[in-house]
Amino acid sequence: MMRFLFIADPLSSFSVKKDSTLAMMDAAFAAGHQVWHSHIEDLKSINGVVRAQSQQLSIHRTQTPWYESLGFDLVAVSDFDAVIMRKDPPFDMSYVTATWFLSEAVRQGAKVFNSPEALRNHSEKLALLEFIKFAPPTIITHELADIKAFHQQYQDIIIKPLDGMGGMGIFRVKADGLNLGSIVETLGDLGKKALMVQKFVPEIVHGDKRVLLIGGEPVPYSLARIPQAGEVRGNLAAGGKGVAQKLSDKELQIAKEIGPQLAKRGLHLIGLDFIGDYLTEINVTSPTCFVEITEQTGHDVAKQWLNHLEKYLNS
């Protein structure tokens, strides 16, 4: 038996039907491990030791409520066998502060997944630049002039903020350039924030595909998040329909090249986003889609994650 601490959003915000963090908790609890939960605000340093006000849980996913509290305790983060950082974005100063706490906890012996240093160093948008050969034509800039030139070249583009999630703040600008300046000024806060701009990939009609990598190895199925009527965004949070499908040869090739590199940096769970054969984002904070893939294919993603974690901790 091991003790796992999940640092995540409030338990009341979990969607019992599709929450990936809950699926991970459930798999760990079913395997006989202790499951604990904290918020990032519960992290603190007492006499130099990083601790977390933590709640131990008994998981009953098919019941209401889905958990029972077994009590609270102020525990040294390094006393847990593993700390699972699953706080959803935004990647703001509160999130960064939590990673600083966790970096100190690592120095005190804690094992944190994903690595707090790796979380800080891998912007989910800018990390794409390392693997730009797999991406559609892409620029990241503060300058409206750069974006206008890019639009002039490609005619149909997607603009998105660097700190967005769930499809928030994504705009498509077609050949007429309607509202391009206004969109850039608003999203970029008059040039204060850099924006990612990509050539529109028409294969989005077949889905924005999430490919999960666990310990550098791809889950054999992706979840294609297909935009519904009137939308260009496939994100489930934006109303997209999730359809699980086997990885394409191209997705598998890219995943096998990227996965081991990122796993060596402490990114044990990541989500690659594809449109057509193009890689568009690399998600590292709290990748989702465990439940949808498991329900539609029978491949237990949470079990694959737990098997990897147990093997890693015991190695």
Residue (of 129, 133, 278) closest to 207 by Cα position: 278
Residue-level pLDDT at 229: 65
Active site residue 210: yes
Give pLDDT tens digits for 216-272. Answer: 999 999 999 998 766 665 556 656 789 999 999 999 999 999 999 999 999 999 999
Terminal-residue alpha carbon distance, the chain = 15
Query: Among 51, 114, 225, 251, which one carries the catalytic annotation?
Result: 225
- Say whether 273 is catalytic: yes
Our measurement of the distance from residue 120's CA atom to the centroid of its chain's CA atoms, rounded to an integer in Å, reads 13
Binning pLDDT at 50, 70 and 90, where does residue 87 land?
very high
What is the residue-averaged pLDDT of the chain? 95
> Is 86 assigned a catalytic role?
no
pLDDT reported for residue 163:
84
Q: Is the pLDDT of residue 148 over 60?
A: yes
Residue 239: per-residue pLDDT = 65
**Catalytic residue selected from 51, 87, 111, 125:** 125
Helix (H, G, I), strand (E, B) or coil at 160: strand
DSSP assignment, residue 114? S
Residues 158-211 pLDDT 10s:
999 998 777 788 999 999 999 999 999 999 999 999 999 999 999 999 999 999
- For the chain, percent of residues with pLDDT exceeding 90: 89
Q: Tell me the pLDDT band of 286, cut-offs 50, 70 and 90.
A: very high
Residue 312's contacts (CB-CB under 8 Å, 6 or more residues apart) are 215, 268
Distance CA 132, CA 278 (A): 10
203-300 and 137-200 share a CATH fold: no
Q: What DSSP element (H or E) covers 150?
A: helix 144-154
Burial degree of 274 (CB within 10 A; 0-12, 13-18, 19+): buried
List the catalytic residue out of 51, 160, 199, 209. Answer: 160
Q: Which CATH class is domain 3-113?
A: alpha beta
Write phi, then psi, for 155 (nearest 5 degrees).
70, -35
Distances (CA, A) of 175 to 200, 219, 307: 11, 38, 49
* Alpha-carbon distances of 180 from 34, 145, 163, 197, rounded to whole Å: 52, 11, 20, 12
In order of 42, 66, 98, 110, the CA distances from 101 in angstroms are 11, 30, 5, 11
- Beta strands, E only, the chain: 3-7, 34-38, 43-46, 49-59, 67-76, 82-85, 112-113, 138-141, 157-161, 171-173, 195-199, 208-214, 217-218, 221-226, 241-246, 269-275, 278-283
- Res 2: pLDDT: 98
State residue 128's pLDDT score. Answer: 95
List b or e across 103-138, with b for residues whose CB sees 16 or more CB atoms inside 10 angstroms.
bbbbeeebbbbbbbebbeebbbbebbeebeebbbeb
**CATH architecture of the domain with residue range 137-200:** 2-Layer Sandwich (3.30)
**What is the pLDDT, as a whole number, of residue 62?**
87
Tell me the pLDDT tens digit for each residue of 36-61.
Answer: 999 999 999 999 999 999 999 999 98
Q: What is residue 283's predicted lDDT score, i.e. its pLDDT?
A: 95
Q: What pTM, to 2 d.p., does this model score?
A: 0.93
- Binned at pLDDT 50, 70 and 90, residue 139 comes out as very high
Return the SS3 of 276. coil
The rounded percent of the chain whose pLDDT value lies above 70 is: 97
Residue 68 has pLDDT above 60, yes or no: yes
Catalytic residue among 86, 111, 233, 292: 233
Where exactly are the structural domains of the chain? Answer: 3-113, 137-200, 203-300
Please indicate whether residue 225 is annotated as part of the active site: yes
* Superfamily (CATH) of domain 203-300: ATP-grasp fold, B domain (3.30.470.20)
CA distance 280 to 296: 24
Question: Per-residue pLDDT tens for 11-45?
Answer: 999 999 999 999 999 999 999 999 999 999 999 99
Residue 279 reports pLDDT greater than 70: yes
Write down the catalytic residue from 104, 210, 235, 292. Answer: 210
Tell me if 27 sits within 8 A of 306, measured CB to CB. yes
Separation between Cα atoms, residue 44 and residue 101, nearest integer Å? 7
| Residue 300: per-residue pLDDT | 98
Question: Residue 158 and residue 273: Cα distance in Å, rounded?
Answer: 15
Mean pLDDT calculated for residue range 62-78: 96
Is the pLDDT at 5 greater than 90? The verdict is yes
